[in-house]
Structure 1
Amino acid sequence: MRILGLSAFYHDSAAALVEDGRIVAAAQEERFTRKKHDPRFPAAAAAYCLEAAGCDLGQVDHVAFYEKPFLKFDRLLETYFALAPKGFDSFRRAMPLWIKDKLFQKSMLAKSLRLLPGGDGWNGSLLFTEHHQSHAASAFFPSPFSSAAVLTMDGVGEWCTTSLGHGSGNRLDILKEIQFPHSLGLLYSAFTYYCGFKVNSGEYKLMGLAPYGEPRFARTILDNLIDLREDGSFHLDQQYFNYAAGLTMTSPAFDRLFGGPPRRSEQSLTQREMDLAASIQQVTEEMVLRLARHARSLTGERVLCLAGGVALNCVANGKLHRAGIFDDIWVQPAAGDAGGALGAALAAWHQYADQPRVVVDGEDSMQGAYLGPAFEQEAIEARLAAAGARFERLAPEVLTGNTADALAEGKAVGWMQGRMEFGPRALGNRSILGDPRSPTMQKLLNLKVKYRESFRPFAPSILREDVADWFEFDGDSPYMLMVGDVVQQRRHRMTADEDALFGIDKLNVARSEIPAVTHIDYSARIQTVHRDTNFRYWALLSSFKQRTGCPVLVNTSFNVRGEPIVATPEDAFACFMGTEIERLVVGDCLLLKEAQSPELACDYKARFELD
């Protein structure tokens, strides 16, 4: 049985295909269209999934959509009527779109599906799961656990914003929900907006900014904005927010409480924004801890699965891991709405079709999240040649050694191998790599390669067998969704003057043997690299370790600010030629920047809309 899962029409549209319970393929639409967070029907992603499965839509048994449009419309109408006449302008703008398109999503979906390969032979079976049921299914069903507590947290689905569930075998039951307008995800996004970042993409920036500040507003948040109970349930005072019926996230009362209007995008950051970021991060961590303790108590389970956009807050995940509430935690690598496509397909297989679930050797079924397109060597060479690239083909072991040498010399390397990752993180197949020992690498990558804010940290990839020697974390974190601190013996002692630095001035202080991946609070977003999951990346790390004694590399996504992660050899070459990346490796091909035609250089910095 084949099931095609879809998520669309809000942000991060995606498709996933499950065949007899096995995940065959999954990808976000943005990677194909080159439009960041593309919300449109995932035609290209769905076509890729069908191709990867060797079938067309006529050979698919069911299509599953990740939420129920009528329930979402019900929430929209009830909210507007409850708050009327407030929010009339928002209502006036939203209704034509809902009446014209979204209210009739079933027919829209069917029409779009008919245009896919084999669409004229499709049987018409279209299923709908609830939004948080899709998140929960994406968290539990691919997890390495036979039974587990399941926690989902995001902005909002239809009505639900937070759910607590229990999975066992092929059963997944939602036990408790928190409903709109009370939302941890929207609370965090309100501060994202107030600090001048874009909602649904800038939350990572807020998390990265938090260590530069002090949580001096945390008490203000808890005393005014939120009534947080011991079991993690909460109530938001809506006088401070405007997202329920307005066109902004926060209200004038919010401005008065925090001393002024929201920061304008691209305006210089001040200590206020840093302290606000630190404060909402601390409150978020406390909310997650309380919800987790209640999940443990309610289900009796010793392991936890997480999904929903809030589950991408790896700092909170790391704190939850260290708290020891659960023996083990597994986070869906595509925890946001893209992962809902996979969750919908798996929910249809296990819950609608009532098919059994088998966990093999305590391993997850995500295949390292390497579920996107790959390119054969001959196709890589043909595509690069057509783009005008000059390259050399090397034997894999020679290429690995050559790349490790370049990294050890301080060069930035674009690295494209195998299947593209599913989810927001590059995990060694669509990555820009660097030497973590370099005190200037973070600034180089941020300002001259990624073209993004200088304060944003980078993640370390580390050989799984060496992780405990470098970080206060001895476990698996293959999806870069756990944060741990650099071990004491690898840290550098700060001088009195360095300790006295405040805010963004802390950025240029090398804090450890691997300063390029050590945040100012000594933390790092860890990716453990496993030999059996990604041998080629593991071999590169091993080669770098042989040369330097360091089993760590800087790993950031292969793109610039506002650009989706590269998907094809052409995408990789364009990014290479538009940035200060010095080496590019695609499959077995090595490209040197100095060997390329200067005429192919491009102004890449302004090509994409800022995120």
Structure 2
Amino acid sequence: MIILGISALYHDSACAVMADGQVVSAAQEERFSRRRFDPAMPVRAVRACLRDAGLSIADVDHVAYYERPERKLARQLWMGLPELPETSPSALFRLDADRPFRQIEELLGFTGPVTAVGHHEAHAASAFYQSGFATSALFTADAVGEWTTTSYGRGGPEGVELREEVAFPHSLGLFYSAVTSYLGFAVNSDEYKVMGLAPYGSPRYADRLARLVRDEDGDGGGRFRLDLDYFDFSGRGPMYTERLAELLEEPAREPESEISRFHTDVASSLQEVLENVLLRKLRHLHRETGESRLGYAGGVALNCVANRRIREEGPFEEIFVQPAAGDSGGAIGAAAMVHHELTGEFAPRRLTDAKLGPPGATRGAPGWLRRAGVPYTDFTGDERALLERTADLLADGAVIGWYQGRMEFGPRALGARSILADPRDPGMRDRINALVKKREAFRPFAPAVVEERCAEFFELDGPSPFMLDTATVRQGAELPAITHVDGSARVQTVSSAQDRRFHGLLTAFAQRTGFPILLNTSFNMRGEPIVAQPADALVCFVRSDLDVLVLGDHMVLREDIPGHWAARLEELLPYRKPPISRDVYSFL
């Protein structure tokens, strides 16, 4: 049975192709449209994933959609009234519960059965059916899906059951986003920047922010409420009110302005409050279900610092966080849930590799490089030579764009669409931040390490293949380029079975340096999606300050790129504004 899962028409749309309960291809639309957070029906992603699976739309038996549009419309109308008649025509166009089903037929060409599942059911299913657990507790937390913002449940052979929920406007995701906006960062986009900023401060405002998220049940239950005097989720202005500035005794930070100690302390306080609430709610879930394992998804699950505390201090013995935990992963969850409901089949499978996207066709690279007059080295048939040469360049200080095989699904680059560098170089973080990523200097970079030697360098028990947890860097491991100010790192472990070529590169680098570790960040420039096609990789390489591009089996050096290319590309590829507001969550 072929099921196509769809997440669309909110933000970060995506698709997943599932064959007999197994995900065979999944990708986000933004990678192909080159429009960050693209919310459109994922026409390009569907086409690419079906082609990757050797299928056409005619082969699809069923489409699974990741939310119930009629429930979402009810919340949208509740939010918009009484101003709704004044809403712009474009907003009114989106207030259409039939739109997803109409576009599935008109844009994707699918005329068969379509089943819509609840948004948080899709989140929970995305974690449970990829966890490999026979049974587990299930927890989801995000900004909002239809009406739900947080849910508690259980998964087992009988399916996914959500037993308790917290409803909009009371939301941990919106709480974090509102303070993100107050700190001058873009909501629904830059929350991870606030997480990265938090270790620079101290949580001296935690008591004040904690007043804004109160447990509703005195016995430590699952429900909580926000103090809505401090928030405005109408979508007609900032997500916070003046009461928040009064509480914190400072005005909101202007975007791109200087970051002060006050801002780092607010970030630290916000992070601590979020972690404390999550721990309380997970203890409640553990008491209610009695399960020793947890499946966790939703946008809040991408907060890897909180994930570490959940693992270390939480009540569950084993935790699985879905690598595409945000809305894009809902495509996998919806497909898995519908497959189980239609077939009754349940076979626990553990997802160990997030490289689920279509591979780039690098075989054509030599032809267009030759036509452009760009020299390159072809290592086809000699992988060892490719890895040895790349390791030499990395050890000599080169920053390398690494493009290999299937594309990652989710927000993290995991060795397929990555920028790689030497983690021992104390100047490397500033160099990549300033010249390649064009981003804030305080943001940390992550390490990729061979799984079998991870414990030598990081205080981490077990594999971490999805870069969704942080760990303390062990004393004596001099890795300044990937060590955050608090001595932690967001670790990705790499096994040979999972990614033989990337593991081989890490091993070759270790033979030269003693460290089977590389700085690993996503292959893109600020404000743009991660590269998808070989042409995207070449464009990013030319526009950035990368030294080397490794495109499959082919290597291109910076010195061989014509000098006028970068200026010409800037003219042809103007910056595309993301389809979300920087300070208002995209509710409509």
Specify the code of the residue in structure 2 equivalent to 1:607.
Y
Distance in structure 2 (CA, Å) of the matches to 1:606 and 1:95:
27
Displacement of 1:134: 0.6
Q: Is the contact made by 2:449 and 2:493 (CA closer than 8 Å) also made in structure 1?
A: yes
Distance in structure 2 (CA, Å) of the matches to 1:483 and 1:170:
34
Q: Is the contact made by 1:165 and 1:173 (CA closer than 8 Å) also made in structure 2?
A: yes
**Residue 430 of structure 1: aligned partner:** 417
Displacement of 1:426: 0.3
**Residue 585 of structure 2: aligned partner:** none
Specify the code of the residue in structure 1 equivalent to 2:297.
A
Distance in structure 2 (CA, Å) of the matches to 1:386 and 1:75:
55
Superposition pairs of residues 154-233 of structure 1, within 5 angstroms: 154-227=142-215, 230-233=220-223
**Which of 109, 113, 128 pairs up with 1:125?**
113
Matched residue SS, 1:598: coil
Matched residue SS, 2:257: coil
Distance in structure 1 (CA, Å) of the matches to 2:58 and 2:516:
48
**Which of 554, 575, 587 pairs up with 1:607?**
575
1:313–1:387: structure 2 CA closer, same or farther, 3 Å change rule? farther
Distance in structure 2 (CA, Å) of the matches to 1:557 and 1:549:
24
Q: Is the contact made by 1:25 and 1:49 (CA closer than 8 Å) also made in structure 2?
A: yes
Displacement of 1:424: 0.3
The reply on whether 1:341 has 2:341 as its aligned counterpart is: no
Matched residue SS, 1:155: strand
Superposition pairs of residues 344-355 of structure 1, within 5 angstroms: 344-351=334-341, 353-355=342-344
Specify the code of the residue in structure 2 equivalent to 1:69.
P
Displacement of 1:18: 0.5
Matched residue SS, 2:115: strand
Matched residue SS, 1:537: helix
The reply on whether 1:453 has 2:421 as its aligned counterpart is: no
Matched residue SS, 2:180: helix
**Which of 369, 375, 381 pairs up with 2:366?**
381
Matched residue SS, 1:156: strand
Matched residue SS, 1:468: helix
Distance in structure 1 (CA, Å) of the matches to 2:337 and 2:269:
37
Matched residue SS, 1:487: coil
Specify the code of the residue in structure 1 equivalent to 2:22.
R
Distance in structure 2 (CA, Å) of the matches to 1:62 and 1:94:
35
Range with bigger deviation, 276-285 or 228-237: 228-237
TM-score, with normalisation over the residues of structure 1?
0.90
Aligned identity (percent) is 45
Q: Cα deviations across residues 473-508 of structure 1 (Å, max 9, x unaligned)?
A: 121110000111112343xxxxxxxxxxxxxxxxxx
Q: Cα deviations across residues 440-467 of structure 1 (Å, max 9, x unaligned)?
A: 0110111111000111000010111111
Displacement of 1:112: 4.7
Matched residue SS, 1:590: strand
Q: Is the contact made by 1:150 and 1:305 (CA closer than 8 Å) also made in structure 2?
A: yes
Q: Is the contact made by 2:361 and 2:534 (CA closer than 8 Å) also made in structure 1?
A: no
Displacement of 1:194: 0.5
The reply on whether 1:370 has 2:355 as its aligned counterpart is: yes
Q: Is the contact made by 1:384 and 1:569 (CA closer than 8 Å) also made in structure 2?
A: no
Q: Is the contact made by 2:164 and 2:222 (CA closer than 8 Å) also made in structure 1?
A: no
The reply on whether 1:572 has 2:565 as its aligned counterpart is: no
Displacement of 1:343: 1.0
Superposition pairs of residues 139-538 of structure 1, within 5 angstroms: 139-227=127-215, 230-244=220-234, 246-323=236-313, 325-351=315-341, 353-359=342-348, 364-365=350-351, 368-385=353-370, 389-394=374-379, 395-490=382-477, 513-538=478-503
Q: Is the contact made by 2:105 and 2:111 (CA closer than 8 Å) also made in structure 1?
A: no
Distance in structure 2 (CA, Å) of the matches to 1:251 and 1:289:
27
Displacement of 1:248: 1.8
Matched residue SS, 1:306: strand
Specify the code of the residue in structure 2 equivalent to 1:553.
L
Distance in structure 2 (CA, Å) of the matches to 1:442 and 1:93:
48
1:384–1:342: structure 2 CA closer, same or farther, 3 Å change rule? farther
**Residue 114 of structure 1: aligned partner:** 106
Displacement of 1:388: 5.4
Specify the code of the residue in structure 2 equivalent to 1:113.
E
Q: Is the contact made by 1:383 and 1:570 (CA closer than 8 Å) also made in structure 2?
A: no
Displacement of 1:149: 0.9
1:545–1:220: structure 2 CA closer, same or farther, 3 Å change rule? same
**Residue 498 of structure 1: aligned partner:** none
Q: Cα deviations across residues 29-51 of structure 1 (Å, max 9, x unaligned)?
A: 00001011011111100111221
Distance in structure 2 (CA, Å) of the matches to 1:389 and 1:111:
43
Q: Is the contact made by 2:159 and 2:337 (CA closer than 8 Å) also made in structure 1?
A: no
Displacement of 1:270: 1.5
Specify the code of the residue in structure 1 equivalent to 2:425.
S
1:324–1:308: structure 2 CA closer, same or farther, 3 Å change rule? closer
Displacement of 1:401: 0.6
Displacement of 1:171: 1.1
Matched residue SS, 1:517: coil
**Residue 65 of structure 2: aligned partner:** 65
Q: Is the contact made by 2:215 and 2:224 (CA closer than 8 Å) also made in structure 1?
A: yes
Q: Is the contact made by 1:110 and 1:124 (CA closer than 8 Å) also made in structure 2?
A: no
Q: Is the contact made by 1:165 and 1:176 (CA closer than 8 Å) also made in structure 2?
A: yes
Range with bigger deviation, 59-68 or 557-566: 59-68
Distance in structure 1 (CA, Å) of the matches to 2:231 and 2:368:
50
Displacement of 1:319: 1.1
Range with bigger deviation, 544-553 or 241-250: 241-250
Displacement of 1:245: 5.7
How large is the RMSD of aligned CA atoms in angstroms?
1.9
Displacement of 1:608: 4.9
- For structure 1, the residue ranges without an aligned partner over 5 or more in a row are 491-512
Q: Is the contact made by 1:561 and 1:608 (CA closer than 8 Å) also made in structure 2?
A: no
**Residue 521 of structure 2: aligned partner:** 556
Distance in structure 1 (CA, Å) of the matches to 2:367 and 2:301:
40
1:113–1:53: structure 2 CA closer, same or farther, 3 Å change rule? farther
**Residue 506 of structure 1: aligned partner:** none
Displacement of 1:223: 2.6
Specify the code of the residue in structure 1 equivalent to 2:201.
G
Distance in structure 2 (CA, Å) of the matches to 1:606 and 1:209:
29
The reply on whether 1:589 has 2:576 as its aligned counterpart is: no
Distance in structure 2 (CA, Å) of the matches to 1:267 and 1:472:
36
TM-score, with normalisation over the residues of structure 2?
0.93
Matched residue SS, 1:515: coil
Specify the code of the residue in structure 2 equivalent to 1:397.
R
1:597–1:228: structure 2 CA closer, same or farther, 3 Å change rule? farther
Q: Is the contact made by 1:170 and 1:354 (CA closer than 8 Å) also made in structure 2?
A: no
Displacement of 1:325: 1.9
Specify the code of the residue in structure 2 equivalent to 1:406.
L
Distance in structure 1 (CA, Å) of the matches to 2:30 and 2:15:
11
Range with bigger deviation, 556-565 or 337-346: 337-346
Distance in structure 2 (CA, Å) of the matches to 1:13 and 1:387:
34
The reply on whether 1:103 has 2:108 as its aligned counterpart is: no
